Amino acid sequence: DARVTQTPRHKVTEMGQEVTMRCQPILGHNTVFWYRQTMMQGLELLAYFRNRAPLDDSGMPKDRFSAEMPDATLATLKIQPSEPRDSAVYFCASGSSPGGGAQETQYFGPGTRLLVL
């Protein structure tokens, strides 16, 4: 049963520290999405990649957040320096879209629950 995996599942850190979250998309999927979920804002798209190239990161605070895909099996989301307002659940999702399009189904990982003190 193919699944998106995310590590770590939980992270507690202090303000100012660097946080790295990792995602392994489903093998063969060429699109990866990063979302943030909070009680106040709900689910927000931060960034997404197709074939490892960033397509849109307009939802991401540029000064402290960065997202990369070092290879097809790994996506990373970094926060440096972290702040208490970054506390949230961060989800990775992957999909398969040979030519792009609105019907692509996204498969979500279990999320990384981040708490910044």
Partner 1 sequence: GNSVTQMEGPVTLSEEAFLTINCTYTATGYPSLFWYVQYPGEGLQLLLKATKADDKGSNKGFEATYRKETTSFHLEKGSVQVSDSAVYFCALTRSEKLVFGKGTKLTVNP
CA-to-CA separations, 73 to 6, 20, 82, 105, in angstroms, rounded: 12, 16, 25, 19
The residue type of 103 is: Q
Q: Which is nearer to partner 1, 6 or 82 (CB)?
A: 6
The binding track of 23-42 with respect to partner 1, each residue x by CB under 8 A or -, is --------x-x--------x
Answer yes or no whether residue 84 interacts with partner 1 by CB under 8 A.
no
Which of 95, 5, 18, 88 lies closest to 49, judged by CA? Answer: 95
Which amino acid would we find at residue 25? P
Question: Of 5-24, which residues contact partner 1 (CB under 8 A)?
Answer: none
Q: Establish how many alpha carbons lie within 13 A of residue 90's alpha carbon, considering only the half-sphere containing its beta carbon.
A: 29
- Residue 103 within binding range of partner 1, rule CB under 8 A: yes
In angstroms, the CA 29 to CA 26 distance is: 6
Q: For residue 43, state whether it binds partner 1 (rule: CB under 8 A).
A: yes
Q: Tell me whether residue 69 or residue 109 sits nearer to partner 1 (CB atom).
A: 109
Residues that bind partner 1 (CB under 8 A): 4, 31, 33, 42-43, 45, 48, 55-56, 91, 93, 97, 100-111
